[in-house]
Structure 1
Amino acid sequence: MTPRTPARFADSRHEDRRRTFPALQPLEGEDFASSWWGNAWVEALEDTALDRARLTRGRAYARRGHVDAITVTPGRVMAYVHGTRPRPYRTEIRLRTLTDGDWDDFLATAAARPDHIAALLDKDVPHALASVADLLPTPGDLIPDCSCPDDGYPCKHAAALCYQTARLLDEDPFVLFLMRGRGEREILADLSHRNATRSAAERTGAASGTPVPTVPASEALAARPLPPLPPPFAPPAHPGRPPAYPQTPGAPDPLALDLLATEAAARAHTLLTTGTDPLAQLTQWQDAVRLAAAHPGSGLTASTRALYRDLAVATAHTPTDLARAVAAWRQGGQAALAVLEEPWDPPAGPFDRARPALIAADFPHFRPWRNHLSTRSLQLRFGRDGLWYGYESDPDRQDWWPRGTPDADPVGALTALLGR
């Protein structure tokens, strides 16, 4: 004698095998389905249709919300669909349910892989599962029926119901499983039971089966020669380019981000290819001057003015101080910046021979002060590197700015300064 199903479980299963969905809102400018199984449902409908005109009217009915609440039970989808008459038509779509053997194959395949179970819980259907038991309808698998006098296959009311059903499937693939014969709670309970049984069997097999091969700790930790490391990858020919940073309210300045990323890439590339960091010995002020000097525009554009302002504030200088330092850096790098900022007393020799050489070249008389030779508007400064650096100022203003190209010959440096 077959044992009777407990009444409580029978009632629960009955409720699980009948779902009613409220009428869906009208749809504008969107597809009825975006999931692959929802689109498979639509394709099965359209491949079966004998009259494309009825499909077109059915799509329009569905989009305008002519389909009332939809009830789904195993093998059947039913709804009332409004047409041209005041009284709606009772419309059904029937399809084949799966056999117990089909469901056993489907559930066994799903339980065998945790990722399949996770996908189902996330309302997703892996392609591999759908093909196990022919879950998806094929052309001719959907059988429409409607109380309207239209004998089309399908009529526009049945087509509208099919299109709206695709929207339900898109949101919840368990609607498709219910059409094929099993409810969501029933499927999940079966999967949970199969998964627990499988885990218990694996634990039992691991406990009673062949022991896992092991290695003694003394052997694993014993000293032994290690294989040589693989050769490092060849460095790229040039540092990489940073991504483009958009201008977003409240976000960091994209120019500053681009500058920092570019600088970091160039510095890393130099360290990788030469083994030395050319910026490691720079002070914060020197590095700020270098950064500003590397950016074109000389502080004249809005972006470079902002850069100069921020760098000057960060280093306790004025934008004018920074602009003057940038001019020196562009004149000769770190050595030229030292000439701008550090007067010093040169020993006898090249500095003492500079004034006679300038006089012999018919240049005006220069007054010496420490490592400077100056007139009212021109100046030469002798650097610790043995080069002469040119400067200009408005007459009698003492507002000296680096100009020209450094030269070991004071006459050459002055000629470059005057542009001769």
Structure 2
Amino acid sequence: MSSARPRGVPARLRGQPAHHDDRRRTFPPLTPVAGGADGGLAATWWGNAWVSALEDTALDAARLARGRAYASRGLVDAITVTPGRVTAYVHGSRARPYRTEIRLRVLGDEEWEGLLDAAAARPDHIAALLDKEVPRVLAAVSGLLPQAGDLVPDCSCPDDGYPCKHAAALCYQAARLLDQDPFTLFLMRGRGEQEILADLGRRNTARTAVETGTEPPPLPTVPARAAVTATPASALPPPLPLPAQPGRPPVYPEGPDAPDPLSLEMLATEAAARAHAHLATGHDPVAALTPWQDAVRLAAAHPGSGLTASTRGLYRDLAAALDRTPGELARAVAAWRQGGPSGLAALEEAWDPPAGPFDRARPALTAADLPHFRPWRNRLSTATLQLRYGRDGLWYGYESDAGREDWWPRGTPDADPVGALAGLLGR
């Protein structure tokens, strides 16, 4: 008596342990969609852009309609995505399914460099990717989304339509995958999710180190053998001078029953920093912070947080502990890195400043040939730029995509409003 064979799973792979390959992902068959045959199956703008790339070059609208019907009825088996290729078996009128694929060009190294540099340069782009969204500006940087003619369908069926209904069905189902996880699109273009996040983490860490100059000098050490065999002195030596910066914690090993090594590293780093501050100043700089400010400070002290599999959990836990979202934490971290507690206050607090510096700001901006800024409370805004006047007397620059009102801290605070915008305007 024969058992039923799982659809979309080759016999040679059944019973074998799962193997992780960042550049090959296989998705189980998607569930049928009620009413999907009468309209689009994609829900996001990037999913619809994927569909449009094939539809704009289709030669037969009837085949597209039948492809939508096939997709909505769940006739597309498991979909495998590798760089430059999307493959699946699609069931049709015959008992044996057809092998169908869609090919597209992978991005070159220079295109990836431009894409990753653009993503690492703006924390809102990184936050959007972590929230499984594709920023429109980022997608336009390197041609991430396919255009008309970029998708090349192929199928083992005898139909020579362009595309055939099986290829159209695969295209619509692939759009649903992009809706759920846009990193699938990055994989189609040549690189896996873990590879991209690791690269973004390295770029973000390097950028932060260069901007803040936080690389500590090496501390003097004594060999263990010399310390054990040395002849005891008659008197204790004088205390060592206070180092310029706190030391770094050791690398903690992972183990099934051991605490999370990343959490241990963070606790050790915090203990060293607070002890160093006590020795240097006599007071604890963290004691006066609120729990939210302390969470933002912790995340800001770790530039790679949220960009790797382990640090994403840390980022998520910090936000969840205070009933915030990872996106809110990412924006607050950007404000903290811009100006510490004062920068965070400028992000979160709208207030009515007194006359004087605020009233003189608009004429100064006009004299610098900058666009017209609209005032509201302590803020001056254009379509894409914003200045926020802090209670510390500094101006904080912000930037947003036109029409979105999604403001993110950028640049360096300055007592001069024009100076606060210099970095944003490339001056």
Using the size of structure 1 for normalisation, the TM-score is 0.46
Question: Which one has a bigger Cα radius of gyration?
Answer: 1
Using the size of structure 2 for normalisation, the TM-score is 0.45
